[in-house]
Amino acid sequence: MLINWSQFTPWSALGGGAVIGMAVALLVLMNGRIAGISGIVGGVLKGQKDDMGWRVAFISGLVVAPLVWQLFAALPAVRIDGSYAVMGIAGLVVGLGTRYGSGCTSGHGVCGLSRLSPRSMIATLVFMGTGFATVYVIRHVFQI
């Protein structure tokens, strides 16, 4: 593995992590809700009328933030090496994982770990390990 040191950006990553941490903390403090994206989107799709406003605002922020960032900085070029079929299947598998794991990477990895939840620690270890194994198999066994 080679690190392209000219593209290594620890300060922007640190800043982004701090902003995510603040957003998660504010959502818990203001709404008493965990910032799990799959649960937030699921609530919108189910049509939960009582708390639709903050859910739509949260999802809108996820979509609008990169567009605003692009006004101030050039975003890196996006390169995807998979076909649309592979990406579609991968998305469905991730969706199944979030249902079976009772939450997504943001809910377990960001919110659950910060609360020292044992269930979230196990879930995070499982999805990270599965991701590592998948990349290894795809790149080294199947050489795709």
- 2 occurs within a structural domain: no
Which distant-in-sequence residues (6+ apart) come within 8 Å of 69 by Cβ? 75
pLDDT 10s digits, 53-64: 889 998 999 899
- 4 occurs within a structural domain: no
What is the gyration radius of the CA atoms in the chain, in angstroms? 17
- 82 occurs within a structural domain: yes
- 100 occurs within a structural domain: yes
Other CB atoms within 10 Å distance of the CB of residue 23:
15
| pLDDT for residue 32 | 87
Q: Is the pLDDT of residue 2 over 80?
A: no
- 5 occurs within a structural domain: no
pLDDT 10s digits, 16-47: 889 888 988 898 898 888 888 888 888 898 88
pLDDT 10s digits, 65-84: 888 888 887 767 777 777 88
Tokens of 128: 């990270």
| pLDDT for residue 141 | 83
H runs (alpha helix) in the chain: 10-31, 37-46, 52-72, 84-100, 105, 113-114, 118-136
- 1 occurs within a structural domain: no
Tokens of 33: 């809700």
- 55 occurs within a structural domain: yes
Higher pLDDT, 35 or 133: 133
Return the DSSP state at 140.
I
Domain containing 34: what range? 10-141
- 3 occurs within a structural domain: no
As a whole number, mean pLDDT of residues 80-101 equals: 84
| pLDDT for residue 64 | 93
**Number of domains the chain is built from:** 1
Return the DSSP state at 114.
H
